[in-house]
A = this chain, B = another copy of it.
Amino acid sequence: SFSSIKSRVLIIIKEVRKKERKKKMVLKIYAPLFASSKRAVVTLIEKGVSFETVHVDLMKGEQRNPEYLAIQPFGKIPVLVDGDYKIFESRAIMRYIAEKYRSQGPDLLGKTIEERGQVEQWLDVEATSYHPPLLALTLNIVFAPLMGFPADEKVIKESEEKLGEVLDVYEAQLSKNEYLAGDFVSLADLAHLPFTEYLVNQIGKAYMIKDRKHVSAWWDKISSRAAWKEVSEKYALPV
């Protein structure tokens, strides 16, 4: 009868809409293959959050497309889209995921205001002291040959010196604490993973980690976590 067809059609429409809503609600992370984005990806996996990925080809300059600039006005990666909400800056995304999914997986922000303070402190050390010289090494040693621009030997030398000084402080800190922010793994540790992976592999300066006993033990511990292994296997750059 017409009425039974109508009711079946209505059920189908309802199911399609539900699927669409659910699809819209799945978190989307942009440019998962690149190192900065992997800070966000490893956090999602640590917290057991399902997500989809959207490819952005930096080599083709897709991050300067108007559609991309509409969601990330600086033309940088990554971006996390969560339904109608969007957030950029890799370490801000990490904090957002760790806060939103606080009750599942490891508590990556610490348990008290004081512990969170230490997590924030070492996250900021990573962003402002550790990352800049390591990024300079990555650009000049890994990407310069790929992109056809000359490596700056002076920058390489100065960056290695700066990074070495930072790692000396890490060595002292990690001789007193198992992880950077204390005796618990946190966002501060995870934030170091993607570019330190460059340092020990593609950059070819693994000795900067291995020659420092406590830094080396810390690196072995955080880089052998299941979440990071999954990131390395699933989201390898094809270079």
Interface residues of A (CB under 8 A from B): 73-74, 76, 85, 87-92, 95-96, 99-100, 113-114, 116-118, 120-121, 123-125, 127-129, 132, 166, 169, 172-173
Contacts and interface: CB of A to CB of B under 8 A. Distances in A.
B96 A113 contact: yes
Contacts of A95: 116-117, 120
A152 to B, nearest CB: 14
Contact of A118 (B87, B90, B127, B132): B87
Nearest to A94: B120
Contacts of A127: 124, 127-128
B92 A120 contact: yes
A127 B166 CA distance: 18
User: Oligomeric state, in number of copies?
Assistant: 2
Contacts of A125: 74, 89
Q: Lowest 7 CB-CB distances: which A-B pairs, in order?
A: A89-B124, A92-B120, A96-B117, A92-B121, A73-B169, A87-B117, A92-B124
Contacts of A169: 73-74
Contacts of A96: 113, 116-117, 120
A127 B76 CA distance: 15
B173 A88 contact: no
A114 to B, nearest CB: 6
